Amino acid sequence: MLHEVGHVLLHPRRESFLDLDDQRDRTDPAELEADTFANNLLFPEGSSAEIAHASTIQDLIVIAARLGIGVPTVAGNAATSPASGTSSVGCDRRSPRPT
């Protein structure tokens, strides 16, 4: 939802804000900006690095509880962190991030 709010605030002249197509272009600068907007609001500074270094699902659960964010949202951040490959908690970091 915050991704879509990012579009409204960052791209006011865009024709469409709510895109339910899971196959959208992940290299589109407007999509990347909206993703960054949502991440910056959801995750405090430094938390993405902490999430990327989580070694178990339990670690992600603890981080989510501390941040007051849902576990699926934290797991999605782990799956799309800038590091390449697969994390130690089994998240494929190359998969598209659900919004």
Q: Render pLDDT for 63-96 as a digit per residue (tens, 0 to 9).
A: 999 999 999 989 988 877 655 344 445 444 433 4
Question: Do 34 and 62 fall into the same domain?
Answer: no
* Range of the structural domain that residue 29 is part of: 1-42
Return the higher-pLDDT residue of 7 and 85.
7
Label residues 64-85 b or e (16+ Cβ within 10 Å = b): beebebeeeebbbbbbbbeeee
Other Cβ atoms within 10 Å of 58 Cβ, number: 10
Residues 75, 54, single domain; the answer is yes
Q: Which backbone phi and psi does 86 adopt, to 5 degrees? A: -105, 135
pLDDT in tens, 9-61: 887 776 555 556 666 667 888 888 888 888 888 888 889 889 989 999 999 99
| Predicted confidence band of residue 1 (pLDDT cuts 50, 70, 90) | confident
Whether residues 25 and 52 share a domain: the answer is no
How many CB atoms are located within 10 Å of the residue 2 CB?
Answer: 15
- pLDDT of 81 reads 65
Answer yes or no: do 92 and 52 share one domain: yes
How confident is the model at residue 16, as a pLDDT? Answer: 59
Residue 91 is encoded by which pair of tokens?
Answer: 């998240």
pLDDT of the residue at 94:
38
Token pair, residue 58, equals 């339990």
User: Would you state the pLDDT for residue 31?
Assistant: 82
Coil, helix or strand at residue 85: coil
